[in-house]
Structure 1
Amino acid sequence: MIRASPRYLPGRSLVTGASSGIGAEFARTLAARGSDLVLVARREDRLTTLADELERTHGIHCRTVAWDLSVEASGRRLREVVPERIDLVINNAGFAVQGPFVDGDADDFARLIAVDIRAVVDVCSAFLPDMIARTSGTIINVASTTAFQPVPSLAVYAAAKAFVLSFSQALWFESAQHGVRVFALNPGPTRTEFFDVIGDTAAAAGSYQTPTDVVSTAMRTLDARRSRPQVISGRRNTIQAIAAGLVPARVLLPALDRMLH
Structure 2
Amino acid sequence: MTTALITGATAGIGAAFARRLAADGHNLVLVARNAERLREQAAELHDRHRIEADVLVADLSQDDGIAAVEARLTERTHPVDLLVNNAGFGNKGQYLEVPMADELTMLKVHCEAVLRLTSAATAGMRDRGRGGVVNVASVAAFVPRGTYGASKAWVVQFTQGAARDLAGSGVRLMALCPGFVRTEFHERAGMETGNVPGWMWLDADKLVAAAMKDLSQGKSLSVPDPRYKTLVGLLRLAPRNALGGLTSRTGRRYGPN
**What is the TM-score normalised by the length of structure 1?**
0.89
* Aligned-partner residue type, residue 251 of structure 1: A
Tell me the equivalent position of 1:145. Answer: 139
* Aligned-partner residue type, residue 245 of structure 1: R
* Aligned-partner residue type, residue 116 of structure 2: D
Tell me the equivalent position of 2:207. Answer: 214
Tell me the equivalent position of 2:147. Answer: 156
Number of corresponding residues: 247
Deviation readout 1:166-189 (Å, 9 max, x if unpaired): 001001111222111001011100
**Distance (Å, rounded) in 2 between the aligned partners of 1:89 and 1:215:** 14
After alignment, is 114-123 or 249-258 more displaced?
249-258
SS at match of 1:182: strand
* Residue 95, structure 1, aligned to residue 89, structure 2: yes
* Aligned-partner residue type, residue 242 of structure 1: G
Question: What are the ranges of 5 or more consecutive residues in structure 1 without an aligned counterpart?
Answer: 1-9
SS at match of 2:222: strand
**Which of the residues 35, 38, 41 maps onto 1:50?**
41
Q: CA deviation at 1:254?
A: 1.3
Contact 2:81 2:125 in 1 (8 A): yes
Q: CA deviation at 1:245?
A: 1.1
Contact 1:188 1:209 in 2 (8 A): yes
Tell me the equivalent position of 1:15. Answer: 6
Question: What are the ranges of 5 or more consecutive residues in structure 2 without an aligned counterpart?
Answer: 253-257
Contact 2:33 2:59 in 1 (8 A): yes
RMSD across aligned C-alpha pairs, in angstroms? 1.8
Contact 1:168 1:183 in 2 (8 A): yes
SS at match of 1:240: helix
**Distance (Å, rounded) in 2 between the aligned partners of 1:49 and 1:31:** 15
* Aligned-partner residue type, residue 128 of structure 1: T
Tell me the equivalent position of 1:178. Answer: 169
* Residue 70, structure 1, aligned to residue 61, structure 2: yes
* Aligned-partner residue type, residue 214 of structure 2: T
**Distance (Å, rounded) in 2 between the aligned partners of 1:203 and 1:145:** 18
Tell me the equivalent position of 1:190. Answer: 181
Identity in percent: 34
Tell me the equivalent position of 1:4. Answer: none
**Distance (Å, rounded) in 2 between the aligned partners of 1:203 and 1:63:** 39
**Distance (Å, rounded) in 2 between the aligned partners of 1:49 and 1:96:** 25
**What is the TM-score normalised by the length of structure 2?**
0.91
**Distance (Å, rounded) in 2 between the aligned partners of 1:112 and 1:202:** 24
Contact 2:32 2:57 in 1 (8 A): yes
Contact 2:32 2:58 in 1 (8 A): yes
**Which of the residues 169, 187, 196 maps onto 1:204?**
196
**Distance (Å, rounded) in 1 between the aligned partners of 2:112 and 2:70:** 15
* Aligned-partner residue type, residue 134 of structure 1: R
Contact 2:58 2:66 in 1 (8 A): no
Contact 2:143 2:247 in 1 (8 A): no
SS at match of 1:38: strand
Q: CA deviation at 1:81?
A: 4.1
Label 1:71 to 1:246 Cα distance change in 2 as closer, same or farther (>3 A). same
Alignment of 1:123-138 (within 5 A): 123-138=117-132
* Residue 251, structure 1, aligned to residue 242, structure 2: yes
Contact 1:22 1:215 in 2 (8 A): yes
SS at match of 2:83: strand
